[in-house]
A and B are shown apart, each in its own frame.
Chain A
Amino acid sequence: MSAESSVLVKVQNLTKYFPINKGILFQSHIGDVKAVDDVSFEIYSGETLGLVGETGCGKTTVGRTILRLYEPTSGHVYFEGIDLMSLNESGMRAFRKRMQMIFQDPYASLNPRMTVGSIVAAPLDVHGVPDGKDKKERIDELLDMVGLNPDFVNRYPHEFSGGQRQRIGIARALAVNPDLIICDEPISSLDVSIQAQVVNLLEELQGRLGLTYLFIAHDLSMVRHISDRIAVMYLGKVVELADRNEIYLRPLHPYTQALMSAVPVPDPDIAETRHRVILEGDLPSPAHPPVGCNFSTRCPLAKEQCFTADPEYREIVPGHWVACYFADQFVK
């Protein structure tokens, strides 16, 4: 994205800890699960920012905390310059129509006792129909936009396939003309052929409606396809953030390098001969992250300083952010 694009969302030092309490009657706070630990990044208007990481790295929590589904432990989220954390309930409600979410599980995120029409209309009931249109018209328009027959308005979710249900979820997210859509692993539970359809739909809608996406996923090839920039998370922290091509060609963080080496390549010759970085060990517990760099326990490059102090998250090259002591040596 060009530097002139305006910043739509600015996440600053966002932290979300989930307290661990012990005791039945009188609970004592003995620790925290550090799901999101001091995360900062910006999302530019009109772009798709991919957020990747393994299960448990905190990427879903980041998405939900931005929308204040969880209250952050500390930090700020600025939406077009306005601090969302400073808003009360009714103030927040007004903002909710500008940021929506698409959920991972298309089966659980739709109320099985509501018709498709009412599900898609629900946001319209809360926020009003945009452009003062007729509600029924808007519902038909939305269903059409996502490739569903508007005649299906009175059907129930269980009468649809997974891919169709996900499209209903997308229609619901689009209902009030949001600016930002956080896609929380929207394709992880779909068949591969349907995944492609849904991603194509998302891209088409972005072009048509000028949407901004935060695309949270763990499928690297899909993220590469759809994202403009990609952020990599590990154990609650962002370890690298760069343009899509930059991160694939020149990953600077050892974790990113390991991830990139694992992405399947369609060419068997290249796949045979390329260097795979295999990580040893297991993901540490987010309740007891390692002292120093979170990745130090599995990093092939780890040296003494990595075990004592967290590396600074800095902009090493314009537009490319890393948190690693050894990043410089990979910058050619």
Chain B
Amino acid sequence: MTASPLFDTQEEQGLQSTVDRSSGRSKLIHSLYSRPTSAIGTSIFLIFLLLALLGPIIAPYAENQQIVSDARQPPSSEHVFGTDNLGRDVYSRVVLGARNILLLAGLGTLLAVLSGTVLGLVSGYRGGLLDEGLMRFFDGLLAIPALLFALLLLGILGPSSSSVLMVIVIVYTPIVARVVRSVVLSVKQRGYVEAARLQGERQSVILWREIFPSVLPVLAVESALRFSYAIFLVASLGFLGVSVQPPTPDWGLMVKESRNYVDQLPWTMFFPAAAIAILVVGVNLMADGIKRFLLAPD
């Protein structure tokens, strides 16, 4: 039997798809820049990303370079953000600190998302005692405020960047797992999942092929949001002095150290603090834009 003379009408055979086939990525960029809030947020993030990538190249001074003769200078043409009490260039430290904070928060978020996704998928699909037990355990973890919990863990693990990573993973995995699990619960009853089970598809294949694509949009939005929270968490831990140690240029740490001299050298607190605030808000706005794009009611 040759192609479809029996069934498809003339119109159907010549059907031109009305679906827009431009790339998803270009549509995302377009959508992000269509509103002022997400456009600003995305731009902020991209600028900081650029700073992080190009850091060592564009920073005029090394991160711990102390020029004692220039110490305690307000912003000038030589030192755009001024210098601190040890003669370090604040601008360079902010630029180089971007790399640290984005790396730490980014990697931590990535790991938390990975572990949360796997746990959420398996727990949501299998259900039963495993699911119940895991979710109640996560409920317990989530009942503890993140910062307090982080301090507790860092007290045990000792301050270092790998400890901070571990803390981010432990604190954020339950949240991601919950979000993923809720999508799995709603999707696993659907007809096409049943059809896949009838085919004898293995559970891992079903989770990856049938269920995960429906999880992805929600996961992407949640990940972006977690990223902004993670940045703030890293900065907070730095501020409390339990993250990386001096002289590493960590924004939170810089704010902490500047407290002793803030009445004399306000710029040493202002610029790192502003960096933290701007980046967190920027990533948050970007996450909102991603959410509008992916989860818009259609």
Contacts and interface: CB of A to CB of B under 8 A. Distances in A.
B213 interface: yes
Most central of B3, B195, B213 by chain A CB within 10 Å: B195
Contact of B7 (A109, A122, A167): A167
Interface in A184-203: 197, 201
B78 interface: no
Given A92-B200, A96-B199, A108-B192, A122 B13 contact: no
A122 B13 CA distance: 25
A294 to B, nearest CB: 28
Interface string A71-112: 000000000000000000000110011001101010111111
A101 to B, nearest CB: 6
A197 B5 CA distance: 12
Contacts of A149: 3-4, 8, 13
A126 B201 contact: yes
Contacts of B192: 108-112, 119
A93 B4 contact: no
A132 to B, nearest CB: 20
Interface stretch (A140-148, A233-241, A255-263): A140-148
Interface residues of A, number: 41
B194 interface: yes
B76 interface: no
Nearest to A182: B198
B1 interface: yes
A18 to B, nearest CB: 15
A126 B210 CA distance: 14
Given A108-B190, A113-B213, A156-B19, A147 B198 contact: no
Given A122-B196, A144-B3, A159 B191 contact: no
Most central of A67, A108, A159 by chain B CB within 10 Å: A108
Interface in A135-183: 144-145, 147-150, 155-156, 159, 161, 163-164, 167, 169, 172
B6 interface: yes
Contact of B199 (A114, A123, A150): A123
A235 B260 CA distance: 82
A92 B198 CA distance: 10
B259 interface: no
Contact of B195 (A148, A150, A172, A197): A172
A155 B17 contact: yes
Nearest to A150: B3
Nearest to B18: A159
Contact of B198 (A100, A107, A163): A100
Given A96-B200, A126-B200, A155-B17, A145 B1 contact: yes
Contacts of B209: 111, 114, 122
Given A69-B197, A144-B1, A113 B6 contact: no
A276 interface: no
B200 A148 contact: no
B115 interface: no
B37 interface: no
A105 B201 contact: no
A250 interface: no
A67 B198 CA distance: 7
A164 B12 CA distance: 10
A164 B128 CA distance: 38
Nearest to A95: B200
B8 A69 contact: no
B85 interface: no
B13 A96 contact: no
Contacts of A156: 19
Nearest to B210: A111
> 4 shortest A-B CB distances, which residue pairs?
A108-B191, A147-B7, A109-B191, A93-B200
6 contacts: A105-B191, A122-B196, A122-B201, A125-B205, A145-B1, A167-B7
Given A110-B191, A126-B199, A147-B8, 6 more contacts: A111-B209, A122-B196, A126-B201, A127-B199, A147-B1, A147-B6
